[in-house]
Structure 1
């Protein structure tokens, strides 16, 4: 018989499918992000020839000709580390911390630390691609000309704004509790949007690099199924799986409206229920609560 807390008898099913997601979902998400990092690293090391910090002279017919491919190869490594690994961990840090039972203050430090480390990786990744273009001889390559470049810059712009707003609102000088709670859902939404844009930029970058390889040396026969094409082809669907697993943790648990509240009933216009209760997924907040809204209420105890 269903309890008063579960009048529809759906709790057993929710433990298996969520939300909140089963605990194993966070393990799968982290495994997926590490798998992508390993595949991209192997792709760079073997088919693309590894990484370097200086142009490599080319013994060709053109005096001074060089190859800056090893400098460029830092770009996919650093962007994958920053977006796929570190930013994914930052998104998971509140709802599914890497160690059970971490205090909220610790989760917040992990969130900020992962984002700051990701920002460093992204900045160095940009330096690598710009240097590889400008050090190319005899003719330097242009910057910011491809759809991948524009998508990546868009993602970085949203990420930068997120960092600035987050630092001002939740770090220093820090908004009032009510304003932090009101901003919380928007901060989460734009963080997810920026991360998805980053994943899209990674996918388009992998495709662009494979296309350039095809243009330089047309791939036929067995080469079409070699590592240079096959590894990015495996990474692409893994990016989709990673996005689904990470964003599943951001889905709020279902809450039942209070008795007599038909704001979401038939024929309603979708009116808003009272503010702080909805912002905390049904858990009321008192005025003395010093915590920031992180959307983690209503999750399974850890």
Structure 2
């Protein structure tokens, strides 16, 4: 057996991921077709795992592909997954597919973000919602979390900001636990520190009786998921968000891309978008 240093070897890293996932050595061994004794030897550095074993354990521990590369390097193997920039010619089909997907979703808003929520691509529906945002937030790279939660961004126009903000921060916390990304942690600490202004009962619903009545009617509309309720030019728009990722990605860049789409939660929102983007 080849001994790996217990301080810097792959064993402690695998143990950390296993403990993070709250899986016992026995459970992991059963899933990976191994033995608890062998898992223990790997974690303590008494046994050097094969490349195949590292990838098998990483799969059962749901370790992101970026971190799988790190495990392989620490263990003395070459990285398995490439990290190809999105503007590389080899990514042409991915870029073109994303652009077609976003365009096909119009007039409804949709965008693609990377692992730290930088906007990779967006359609005209997103551009419509971003009208009036402070120029400082529109300097590339645009960051979806900053644009959404910054006081100079969308936050003042989000009518259910406390609920939507809490949901976004919880989403980021889950991702930090999954990926253990220092960059994502820094972003989380930044956006979580943004001040949240209190909103009066009638604030943000536009002016006039029609806007107020519209807001009250929508409050009575049952929703199957937390909606994003946002004001745009005196109109109240309501969306249900969904997030999609690539299935079994084999590249770090592709693995960290997420496609977020916003489905109108009511007929009025859909009609407004179709009219504006006609």
- Say yes or no: TM over 0.5: no
Structure with the largest fraction of helix: 1
TM-score, structure 2 normalization? 0.32
Structure with the largest fraction of strand: 2
More RCO (CA 8 Å, sep 6+): 1
